[in-house]
Structure 1
């Protein structure tokens, strides 16, 4: 691995030489027997060295406004994606509603419904006859009129209910 002197390391990382000596003295940074510092050791302590930009290249200055603009543009893109997803969902559900409405359409008046249909019976193959109407007393026939239940005329009226105190003050009333 490449080894660097204190001066080369200070120029590479753009830090003061005294900082490097203080790190060596504290034991944070170590140097070889030839008083040089291993590049891997410098990367461990100071991180990757920053590459110097040429003066010919334009230098971008990040202002707080440009960072805010970038953040706002990202949020706008995210909201546009969410809006597209919501529109897709809406169209899917609208199609589902239309399909269900087509399935639940009311039957035409000239069509017979399930309750209007009578089971077809073949007399030759089905020897059963239709059961006659039985009067078991539980059901009333449809043809008869509703009759009133006679009330006996000699029904006695119940005595008037008495309150708690009237039982003591008027016991034989």
Structure 2
């Protein structure tokens, strides 16, 4: 069987030499008369040794920059998804607006909309104008009451009452 020194065993299992000495002292691990440890004994205590990677294979080194790059890429992906969602919402709302505009462009013939009305003059300020009765042949004319609003005429303020003597001595005013 193959035997290893404490230094070789610590390199093979990537553990501290002091750990190996402590295991020998406690009786968990035993060594030969030539102060070497049998490989089968090391496998029993520490398990199969992990194979080291060949130097030819690229070794990834985690650096703060690579973590930042990964985080930034995740944020970019998230923002792209949000942008796509926003574009979808915008197109949906644009279609809704177009549908509503098509519905508004074709008003019913008997209905008048606010934009179809002509500005009317106020009857109170111009009493000459009264609304004319339209006879389009579809409705029967109804009697309408006079919708004039009475406007009070300006009244001059009354003169204060004067006493008997002030009538003779004060000028008319």
TM-score bracket for this pair, using the shorter chain length = 0.3 to 0.5
Gap change, CA 1:121 and 1:156, over 3 Å in 2: closer
Structure 2, gaps ≥5 residues long? none
Q: How far 1:99 moved relative to its partner?
A: 1.4
1:95, distance to aligned residue in structure 2 (A): 0.7
Measured in 1, the distance between the counterparts of 2:77 and 2:84 equals 11
C-alpha spacing 1:161/1:30, structure 2 compared with 1 (3 Å): farther
TM-score (norm 2): 0.42
Aligned-pair Cα RMSD in Å: 14.2
- Pairwise CA distance, 1:15: 0.7
Check the 8 A contact 2:123/2:149 in 1, yes or no: no
15-24 vs 66-75, which moves further: 15-24
CA distance in 1, matches of 2:46, 2:166: 105
- The more displaced of 94-103 and 43-52 is 43-52
Task: Report the alpha carbon displacement of residue 106 of structure 1 after superposing the two structures with TM.
Answer: 4.2
Number of residue pairs matched by the alignment: 173
Contact between 2:2 and 2:39, CA under 8 Å: does it hold in 1? Answer: yes
What is the Cα deviation at residue 103 of structure 1?
2.4
**Unpaired runs of at least 5, structure 1:** none
Cα 1:75–1:141 shift into 2, 3 Å: closer
2-structure distance, mates of 1:104, 1:46: 82
For residues 91 and 10 of structure 1, do their structure 2 counterparts lie closer, same or farther at Cα, with a shift above 3 Å needed?
same
1:104 partner SS: helix
Question: What is the rounded CA distance, in whole Å, between the counterparts of 1:12 and 1:127 in structure 2?
Answer: 113
Comparing 128-137 with 48-57, which one deviates more in the overlay? Answer: 128-137
User: Which secondary structure state, in structure 2, belongs to the residue aligned with residue 8 of structure 1?
Assistant: helix
